């Protein structure tokens, strides 16, 4: 594994999106103390805040309120001021006599390939895929999937979705090839394009579905979070409604690596984090997916689990976390890593706590508490 020790230290800023606004937590050089910048958009439901790594200063934030429609805010000075998108993601107007879909909220933001400055992708609820070519100022429906009858069938209905609506998430751009794209749908599987989004096809072989249902039916597949390994882009990890998986392309078959997790913890959860330099290392944050799906830490004892061998074995990482009676969990986009060596990990909880580790999960410390419910945690690294 390549070392990062001799590279200049980048300051870490943790971008936290919550049910009531966004915060930017600026770390010191040691990542020990943190300065809170926020709230931004107090009262807005913020699903995702992401830095454009191609310019190091543009932030996009996906937001709505309980009453107002969805929008995307854009800052070109790292949050000192924000301007609303001129045309936020919106579906095409339906033909006369037909019932068209309306974006309830933009859920996921992904910068496009390094060779495509200003290009972004967005995933929405209900499930739709959108693209901006001007840095997030204006957005258009992207690829045929939003209106494709087969994809619409696979997307299912709102009743098939998560409690606050089905979501298109985990939009992934292959760092080797801007035309190689992937996305996942909370109800509707993982999908891949090798032609820049002109067409997609399902990538679900090997993935399990809820007992009694047919895994060949795409709509029954519920991926929670998919990540590509930057150091080995043929490798994908996935946290799914039905376990933890790894895919090593050119194979098209996912392998359920979560079966090696402790039985009393299980392999259900939402987030998936990969190591930026070591494709054998990945983290999950399990939750209770039994009975009525409490979506809490199993037994009220939160822990991350790490694999250092691509899923052959898993180790529990709970030092510093509450030992018991902690009934929160971590949502699908609320856990992330920096690129330091040793790597830093960060996660936000449904109870509004932000936690971090400076040593790859060996020990955790609480960075902030009493925030609103945390929806997303992303890491920005500044020179």
User: Shortest gap between Cβ of 157 and other proteins (angstroms)?
Assistant: 17
Nearer to other proteins, 86 or 179 (CB): 86
d(CA 82, CA 63): 12
Any residues with CB less than 8 A from the CB of 260 and at least 6 apart, and which? Answer: 307, 311, 312, 313, 314
Minimum Å distance from CB 47 to other proteins? 16
Residue 157 tokens read as: 């209905």
DSSP string, 93-127: PPPTTS------EEEEEEE--TTSTT-EEEEEETT
Q: How far is the CB of 146 from other proteins (least distance, A)?
A: 12
Q: Which residue matches tokens 């830093």? A: 344
Q: Which is nearer to other proteins, 43 or 118 (CB)?
A: 43
Pick between residue 78 and residue 91 the one whose CB is nearest to other proteins. 91
Which residues here bind other proteins, judged by CB under 8 A? 65-69, 71, 84-86, 88, 90-94, 99-103
SS3 43: coil
Interatomic CA distance for residues 362 and 374, integer angstroms: 23
CA gap 132, 202 in Å, rounded: 24
Helix (H, G, I), strand (E, B) or coil at 57: coil
Q: Which is nearer to other proteins, 107 or 285 (CB)?
A: 107
Determine how β-strand 354-357 pairs with β-strand 365-368: antiparallel
Smallest gap from residue 88 Cβ to other proteins (A): 6
CB 37 within 8 A of CB 25: yes
Instruction: With beta carbons less than 8 A apart as the criterion, state whether 275 and 252 touch.
Output: no
Which CB atom, from 69 or from 262, has the smaller least distance to other proteins? Answer: 69
Question: What is the closest distance, in whole angstroms, from the C-beta atom of residue 90 to other proteins in the complex?
Answer: 4
| Helix or strand (DSSP H, E) at 154 | helix 149-155
Report the residue number, 80 or 263, with the smaller CB distance to other proteins. 80
Give buried/exposed letters for 92-110 (b at 16+ CB in 10 A, else e). eeeeeeeeebebbbbbbbb
**Nearer residue to other proteins within complex by CB, 48 or 101:** 101
Min dist CB 36 to other proteins, Å, is 22
Query: Measured from the CB of residue 102, what is the shortest distance to other proteins in angstroms?
Result: 4
């Amino acid at each position: 594994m390549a070392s990062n020790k001799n590279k200049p230290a980048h300051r870490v800023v943790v971008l936290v999106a919550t049910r009531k606004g966004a915060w930017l937590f600026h770390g010191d050089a040691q990542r020990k103390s943190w300065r809170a910048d926020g709230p931004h958009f107090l009262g807005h439901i913020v699903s995702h805040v992401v830095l454009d790594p191609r310019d190091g200063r543009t932030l996009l934030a996906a937001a709505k309120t309980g009453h107002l429609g969805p929008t995307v805010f854009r800052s070109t000075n790292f949050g000192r001021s924000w301007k609303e998108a001129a045309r936020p993601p919106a579906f095409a107007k339906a033909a006369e006599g037909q019932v068209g879909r309306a974006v309830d909220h933009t859920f996921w933001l992904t910068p496009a390939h390094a060779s495509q400055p200003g290009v972004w992708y967005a995933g929405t609820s209900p499930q739709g895929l959108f693209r901006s070519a001007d840095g997030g100022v204006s957005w258009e429906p992207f690829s045929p999937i939003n209106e494709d009858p087969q994809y619409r069938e696979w997307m299912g209905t709102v009743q098939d979705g998560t409690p606050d609506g089905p979501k298109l998430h985990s939009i992934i751009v292959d760092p080797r090839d801007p035309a190689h794209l992937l996305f996942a749908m909370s109800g509707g599987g993982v999908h891949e394009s090798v032609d820049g989004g002109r067409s997609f096809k399902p990538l679900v072989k090997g993935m399990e579905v809820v007992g009694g249902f047919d895994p060949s039916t795409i709509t029954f597949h519920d991926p929670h979070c998919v990540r590509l390994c930057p150091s080995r882009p043929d490798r994908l990890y996935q946290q799914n409604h039905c376990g933890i998986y790894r895919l090593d392309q050119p194979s098209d078959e996912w392998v359920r690596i979560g079966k090696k997790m402790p039985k009393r913890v299980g392999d259900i959860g939402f987030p998936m984090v990969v190591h930026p330099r070591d494709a054998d290392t990945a983290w999950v944050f399990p939750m209770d997916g039994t009975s009525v799906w409490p979506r809490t830490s199993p037994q009220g004892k939160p822990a991350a689990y790490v694999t250092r061998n691509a899923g052959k074995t898993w180790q529990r990482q709970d030092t510093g976390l509450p030992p018991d009676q902690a009934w929160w969990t971590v949502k699908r986009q609320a856990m992330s890593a920096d690129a330091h060596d040793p790597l830093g990990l960060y996660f936000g909880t449904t109870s509004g706590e932000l936690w971090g580790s400076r040593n790859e999960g060996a020990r955790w410390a609480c960075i902030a508490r009493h925030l609103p419910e945390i929806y997303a945690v992303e890491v920005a690294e500044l020179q």
